[in-house]
Structure 1
């Protein structure tokens, strides 16, 4: 099965920048998007052969997630439970016979780290949720996770230590999740490769010079790691400040 994840940074804008061309070309079983930045009724997408599941933020033009799938799920869940108010529309879970698919747009700690405490609480709740799911059946967890895990996951590691997305705290939470029974699919297939990024600043020629961060992931349960056929980044697909990532899995 083929999975795609892409932070589109506004689906309405991305639709005018080649979204549907890539969508049809890649022909994925599951196409997950983050940062949709729309409310119900603002976008009408009729894509033959796909069911759609949307989780909208209450705040207009902000956050939001969606999944397009060829496969009818056994169940659909929005959020991670009663503790999460779901105001920002950041999580969708689809359940299938052999796995759960969890699409997530992780909160940014912000440049001044004002949201770091909230971010760390989020990480704890989400980790507990993923571990609970994993105790029932394997998990495919994807999205914009807003963290570069190791120094090879961003271009200028030394100068970014302690910055949002590369704090010791955020990286430690990601490490702890992996240690609890999950694997970063891209690093599993490409353990030492450098210069692979999924997000670039809009500053002049930054993307052209490949000064980026790898902050978008497919993380899968350890039980699935031998079923990973490929984990790919598509840096030449434009339309957003992020690029799509792909996972091919035998499941």
Structure 2
């Protein structure tokens, strides 16, 4: 089973930059998208063979997630298992299947001045509880732009970025706490020492060409699925966004 996750940083813009070429070529069973930046009715995608599930932000042109899947779910949940009004930014979708869950998430950014770090940490606590509740019922595959470089190996300039948004001690500790609670980072599980493999680069001049990046997009699975992971890939050659797609091949 093949899954892809991609923060497209505006799906309408990404479609004009080759999104559908990649989508058709990769032929994933699940294609998860973050930061769609659109409202219902603002795009029409003809994705033959796929069901489409969208979670739109209330704020126009902001945030938003989607999952395109060949597999019809038993149920679909939007938000963190609470009242939907408590999650107005369209950041999470959960698909339930007989033997597993698939979750895509776009974790809030703490902002450059860290003004949104308190909200980010509140989100992290709610997400931790939600994911662990799911995991107590059946295993899950969890993906998305989680807006944190977990370890120093996951960021080009760790020393100079320490304390910056996405690389604060608090954000990194939240990722550690999640992984310690019964989950694995699929890429690091297969490649514990592989350096300079990133999923996001600033739009500043020549930054991507010089591979000055961060690995902030993840496929995380329940520990019990570890032996079923066949591949975890970063498709850094695919353009169209400041993030690149990532892929998980898992035998369920």
Query: TM-score band (shorter)?
Result: over 0.9
Matched, 1:161 2:162: yes
Cα separation, 2, equivalents of 1:111 and 1:144: 17
Cα separation, 2, equivalents of 1:146 and 1:8: 14
Matched, 1:227 2:228: yes
Q: How far did residue 83 of structure 1 move?
A: 7.8
Where does residue 101 of structure 1 map in the other structure? 102
Where does residue 2 of structure 1 map in the other structure? 2
Secondary structure at the aligned position of 1:173 is classed as: helix
Cα separation, 2, equivalents of 1:188 and 1:174: 15
Where does residue 70 of structure 2 map in the other structure? 70
CA contact (8 A) 2:78 2:84 kept: no
Where does residue 179 of structure 1 map in the other structure? 180
Where does residue 250 of structure 1 map in the other structure? 251
Matched, 1:11 2:11: yes
Where does residue 49 of structure 2 map in the other structure? 49
Q: RMSD of the TM alignment (CA)?
A: 0.7
Secondary structure at the aligned position of 1:33 is classed as: strand
Greater shift in the superposed pair: 104-113 or 74-83: 74-83
Q: How far did residue 86 of structure 1 move?
A: 2.0
Matched, 1:199 2:205: no
CA contact (8 A) 2:79 2:93 kept: yes
Where does residue 128 of structure 1 map in the other structure? 129
Aligned length: 251
Where does residue 114 of structure 1 map in the other structure? 115
Q: How far did residue 82 of structure 1 move?
A: 2.4
Q: What is the TM-score with the length of structure 2 in the denominator?
A: 0.99
Which runs of no fewer than 5 residues in structure 1 stay unpaired? none
Q: How far did residue 135 of structure 1 move?
A: 0.3
Secondary structure at the aligned position of 2:3 is classed as: strand
Q: What is the TM-score with the length of structure 1 in the denominator?
A: 0.99
* TM-superposition CA deviations, 1:108-157 (whole Å, max 9, x none): 00000000011001000000000000000001010000000000000000
